Structure 1
Amino acid sequence: MRKASMRTGPLIAAALCLTTVCVHAQTIRDTFTEGLSQRLFPLLDALGGNPAALNALRGDPEIASMLRARSDRRAACGADLGCAAQAMVWTDGETQILAAAIPGKGADDGPAAQARREIAGVNAILRTYGLGQVPPYPQIDGAGTIDPQETRSRLQAAAWLSQTGRAGSVQALDPSVEFALALLHGSERTDAIGYEPLAGGFNAPAMKRARSLDWKRFRYSAMIITGVGPEVEGMSLSPFGKYHLRLAAQRFAAGDVPFLIVTGGRAHPRATRFTEAEEMRRALIERYGVPADAIVVEPYARHTTTNLRNATRLLVAMGAPLEMDALIVCNPDQSAAIASPDFVARNARELGYQPGAVGRRISPTELVFRPSPRSARVDPRDPLDP
């Protein structure tokens, strides 16, 4: 009985702490969580580093009333950690109130739209990693099947961490962002920062070359080699992926494309130790002799939609002119799927925009692609690849 009472005390304390923002007075930097926060929630993270803006928001009567209602909702949960996690979820009305007031620079569609995406991302993490909701792609996303006691431990740790001071956090406004970040960390799903800074590491030689490149010498800005993740545990590249590399090496030999962007994350099968783009790079160098400074690694994409979105982001980082076409190289079935109206609909549904304009198929395995600056929008509704 004594052991049970010892556990109950901290549980009640954590629950009570969640009813108000009682962050410890002393705050320190946590560089890992800081990096995850910056990657997933750039607008909210910037707000956390702006005490004057935070105080102004807390002083707004409408926002203060909304935050009190959220605090009361958490207080009503008592020591029930599942209830507390549910109480962290932002309603549509709460989202609209906060998003309309947050200052700063958003994406191309403005700070309010960016704030709504980031709050939706907080909700997605809370529901998936805290409340066990099935994610859109359950075979590769989410926490997987875990023991109920482990779920409770992750919720408890997230509750404590959300109230333990971290420099630059928005904890003083609301604990939900820190709670969500702690859930991701506790679930070992911090994929989104696995290769930062992306301009360094494997990509440093290509980025250096791009800075002095005369883009006008080439017909296409880059060749985008899409991923097809393996489904066999321990397999580094799928058979289709190996075919894509042969096609890419053959096409690169024509000399009218300066860079190959290999794109594919650590998605298939679940919890694989292999990053598809990294394995593609290795094969291009070792098997086909492609120079390292001609290969750009995009190691995050988990879907064909984000293959193109993330490749566009890298083109921007390289300084490539977006009015210049790129070339997509993949197997005939995937090529046909990318060229179809269904793919346009899928982009609209999953991304909210088109990452670029897919042009004509110049062969069964090649498509023209004109990248769009809309791809710069950060969207943590997929917290593994925002």
Structure 2
Amino acid sequence: MAAVAVAAALSLTTVCASAQDVRAQAVRDTVTESLSQRLFPLFDALGRDPAALNALQARPEVAAMLRARFDRRAACGTDLGCVAQAMVWTDGEAQVLAAAASGKAADDGPAAQAGREIAGINTIVRTYGLGQVPPYPGIDGAGMVDPQEARSRLQAATWLSQTVRANSLQALDPSLDYALALLDAADRRDAISYEPLTGGLNAPAFRRAKGLDWKRYRYSALIVTGVGPEVDGMPLSPYGKYHVRLAAQRFAAGDAPFLILTGGHAHPRATAFAEAEEMRRALIERYGVPAEAIVIEPHARHTTTNLRNASRLLMAMGAPLDKDTLIVCNPDQSAMIENPEFAARNNRELGYQPGTIGARVSPTDLEFRPSALSARVDPRDPLDP
């Protein structure tokens, strides 16, 4: 009970204190910081700006909403499931905070970005704290968790959300740090693996891109999509091996300066192998493709995000967005990408089209022009925002 009393006191301090007070003697947690920056860029920036944070807290409608949230959490006492549910933002609370949000955000403005980030907090709490089944249960979520382990994760998340962390949003509300603690407890830090993507295995290609004359090529890149294995311990699926050969053959034609290989740690759940990395290895070792021609995108777990994340990399490389790329994959997947239902799926899952599908070149080659809308960060998919 003593621990609960201390936690409650800390939570009350978080609601009532100024941002400067809460920062006193706070320590940095570099992993949580990185996750926060990657998943919640708008709120993370707010947590680093005491003046903006204090101004937001001072708004009467925000202060009243935060007090109601505190009272809801306090009423839970030691009921960890109740605390988790109390961390979830209601639609009304989300509207108040989103309307009050300001700062650098996505193309559709700070209120829209704040709405996505609040929805991301709710998704993490529900999926990793309350056991809600995610949209893709085979590869998302925490999987089967022993009840005792589930309880320990909830308790640790509660304590961590109330233990002061430097550069955090705890002075406003503990829910963001609570969500980050749940992800960390489940060892799902996928969103920050391989970062920064401009370095590491991608460094040779990014150096080459700096001085590249893009006009020399018909396509800015060949985008090679993933088809993950379903067998434990299998680095690259049979389809993946086919994609690699298709990619090597198409690259040899000289129409594009780069291969963008896209596929993360998806199949089976939490596999140790990132498909993009395994395709890169095969292209270099089996087909002699130079490392400076290969860019890996090791986060995507769906065809929708294969294209979105490839578009992000093209923007980071300085590729012209008014130039086509070529999607290279097996005929079935290629036909699926061209189908109007795929566009509808993009609208449902992303909220926009990551680019424009163009002409069909062959059963395995489909033109694609990337869109700048792909830059939007969306933590509703916390493993690949």
Give the TM-score taking structure 1 as reference length. 0.96
- Aligned mates of 2:142, 2:275 — CA distance in 1: 20
- Aligned mates of 1:339, 1:19 — CA distance in 2: 54
1:120 maps onto 2:116 in alignment: no
Report how far residue 13 of structure 1 moved.
Answer: 4.1
| 1:132-182, Cα deviation, whole Å (9 max, x unpaired) | 100111111111111111111111111111111111100000000000000
Contact conserved, 2:10 with 2:163, CA < 8 A, in 1? no
Number of residue pairs matched by the alignment: 379
- Aligned mates of 1:319, 1:43 — CA distance in 2: 24
Provide the residue aligned with 1:81 in structure 2.
Answer: 80
Report how far residue 362 of structure 1 moved.
Answer: 1.2
SS in 2 for 1:98: helix
Provide the residue aligned with 1:10 in structure 2.
Answer: 3
- Aligned mates of 1:152, 1:9 — CA distance in 2: 19
Of 74-83 and 330-339, deviating more is 74-83
Q: How does 1:318-329 map to 2 (within 5 A)?
A: 318-329=317-328
Provide the residue aligned with 1:108 in structure 2.
Answer: 107
Contact conserved, 2:98 with 2:112, CA < 8 A, in 1? yes
Report how far residue 338 of structure 1 moved.
Answer: 0.1
| Partner AA of 1:253 in structure 2 | A
Q: Percentage identity across aligned positions? A: 75
Report how far residue 25 of structure 1 moved.
Answer: 3.9
1:357 maps onto 2:373 in alignment: no
Provide the residue aligned with 1:161 in structure 2.
Answer: 160
Q: How does 1:33-72 map to 2 (within 5 A)?
A: 33-72=32-71
- Aligned mates of 1:179, 1:290 — CA distance in 2: 44
Report how far residue 9 of structure 1 moved.
Answer: 3.8
Of 28-37 and 214-223, deviating more is 28-37
1:210 maps onto 2:209 in alignment: yes
Provide the residue aligned with 2:313 in structure 1.
Answer: 314
1:268 maps onto 2:261 in alignment: no
Cα gap change, 1:223/1:306 in structure 2, threshold over 3 Å: closer, same or farther? same
Provide the residue aligned with 1:21 in structure 2.
Answer: 14
Provide the residue aligned with 1:191 in structure 2.
Answer: 190
| Partner AA of 1:275 in structure 2 | A
Q: How does 1:284-363 map to 2 (within 5 A)?
A: 284-363=283-362
- Aligned mates of 1:247, 1:131 — CA distance in 2: 43
Contact conserved, 1:15 with 1:77, CA < 8 A, in 2? no
Report how far residue 57 of structure 1 moved.
Answer: 0.6
SS in 2 for 1:29: coil
Report how far residue 17 of structure 1 moved.
Answer: 4.2
Report how far residue 16 of structure 1 moved.
Answer: 5.8
SS in 1 for 2:37: helix
| Partner AA of 1:356 in structure 2 | G
| Partner AA of 2:3 in structure 1 | P
- Aligned mates of 1:88, 1:33 — CA distance in 2: 18
- Aligned mates of 2:157, 2:130 — CA distance in 1: 12
1:254 maps onto 2:247 in alignment: no
SS in 1 for 2:272: coil
Provide the residue aligned with 2:242 in structure 1.
Answer: 243
- Aligned mates of 1:382, 1:246 — CA distance in 2: 31
Provide the residue aligned with 2:150 in structure 1.
Answer: 151
**Which runs of 5 or more residues in structure 1 are unaligned?**
1-7
- Aligned mates of 2:79, 2:6 — CA distance in 1: 11
Contact conserved, 1:15 with 1:84, CA < 8 A, in 2? no
- Aligned mates of 2:361, 2:176 — CA distance in 1: 46
Report how far residue 14 of structure 1 moved.
Answer: 3.2
Contact conserved, 2:23 with 2:166, CA < 8 A, in 1? no
Report how far residue 227 of structure 1 moved.
Answer: 0.1
Report how far residue 256 of structure 1 moved.
Answer: 1.2
- Aligned mates of 1:384, 1:319 — CA distance in 2: 25
Of 19-28 and 156-165, deviating more is 19-28
SS in 1 for 2:122: helix
